[in-house]
Amino acid sequence: MTRVFAAMVLPAACGAVTAYFGYYAIWGERGVLALEDAQAQLGVRQEQLAQVRDQRQRLQHRISLMKPGQVDPDLVEELARSELMDGAPGEVAVPRPKPQP
């Protein structure tokens, strides 16, 4: 009986170690399923980054139009109308919602 038990100790220990690492390779904190979640989150974050970069680029373009000595008159008129709600004599200003980015 002792001999059979001694012969089964090494395979049982190897099986336990394999099961332990196999479990964490799939369901563990850094396993295959966690990798899929991380990749999904990465896709969402990359989309958000692209939107922020696009918004930043649009803002930089508007800022470049307002450099001293190179001011775009159309942009000045647009800003004046949107911020001050002033118009020419005889014009009626109708407020409208700001465009969503």
Question: 12-30: per-residue pLDDT in tens?
Answer: 999 999 999 999 999 888 8
Angstrom distances, CA of residue 20 to CA of 11, 17, 30: 14, 5, 14
Mean pLDDT of residues grouped by 10 in the chain (101 residues)? 82 94 90 91 97 96 84 80 69 74 65
The predicted structure's pLDDT at residue 101: 65
pTM across the whole model: 0.53
The predicted structure's pLDDT at residue 85: 67
**Cβ distance 53 to 59 under 8 Å?**
no
Q: How far apart are the C-alpha atoms of 93 and 85, rounded to whole Å?
A: 6
Phi, psi of 92 (to 5 degrees): -115, 130
What are the structural domain ranges in the chain?
A: 7-83
The predicted structure's pLDDT at residue 53: 98
